[in-house]
């Protein structure tokens, strides 16, 4: 990608989410921003993950993931999820959902628990399309966006 194209891609605004899923022995979590609603009926969300992310095998094995939209003012939490795999101290931030669904971030603006509906190979990323099984929403606050955070992921690294 040339520099002018990269600069244009950096201008696309996204929300900042924490993706969580169940690993074999502990939860797996990472920051994501490439998220979109793709269907109303059934309710489907899409998330794009670079092929090297450790969350991918867990999602493929368990067939579930959660997306939690961060609120403005929660930017400090992002450092807890910089690496795409579990870090010590991560579990206390999660709300349990039962044995068949993944945990989600407590205090998020909104959270969606999804069962994998389909996957799509998309260049150096995999698109996971999840059918929403349950949601939670907090009517207070605004979503944290890449513009608020001052950084934008364009697929490198």
Q: What is the spatial distance between Cα 130 and Cα 8, in angstroms, rounded to a whole number? A: 29
Which 8-state DSSP code applies to residue 115?
E
pLDDT of residue 83: 57
Which domains are delineated in the chain? 15-137 (2.30.110.10)
Q: Which residues contact 21 (CB under 8 A, 6 or more apart)?
A: 27, 28, 29, 55, 58, 59, 62, 64, 65, 66, 102
Q: Which of 3-12, 88-97, 123-132, 135-144 has the lowest mean pLDDT?
A: 88-97
Taking alpha carbons only, the member of 37, 17, 49 closest to residue 126 is 49
**Residue-level pLDDT at 85:** 45
- Inform me whether the pLDDT recorded for 87 exceeds 80: no
Of the two residues 155 and 27, the one the predictor is more confident about is 27
Could you read off the pLDDT of 109-130 as tens digits, one per residue? 999 999 999 999 999 999 999 9
For residue 54, give Cα distances in angstroms to 32, 59, 111, 143. Answer: 13, 9, 21, 26
Q: Cα dihedral sign for 133, 138, 143, 144?
A: negative
Least confident of 52-61, 73-82, 112-121, 138-147: 73-82
């Amino acid at each position: 990608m040339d520099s002018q194209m990269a600069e244009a891609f950096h201008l696309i605004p996204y929300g900042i989410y924490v993706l969580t899923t169940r690993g074999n022995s502990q939860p797996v979590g990472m920051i994501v921003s490439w998220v979109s609603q793709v269907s109303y009926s059934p309710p489907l969300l899409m998330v794009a993950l670079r092929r090297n992310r450790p969350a991918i095998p867990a999602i493929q094995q368990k067939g579930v993931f959660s997306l939690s939209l961060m609120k403005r003012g929660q930017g400090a939490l992002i450092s807890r999820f910089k690496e795409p795999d579990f870090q010590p101290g991560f579990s206390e931030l999660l709300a349990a959902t039962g044995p068949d669904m993944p945990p989600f971030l407590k205090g998020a603006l909104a959270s969606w628990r999804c069962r994998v509906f389909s996957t799509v190979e998309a260049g150096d990323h995999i698109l996971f399309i999840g059918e929403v099984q349950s949601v939670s929403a907090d009517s207070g606050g605004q979503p944290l966006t890449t513009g608020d955070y001052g950084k934008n992921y364009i697929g490198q690294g």
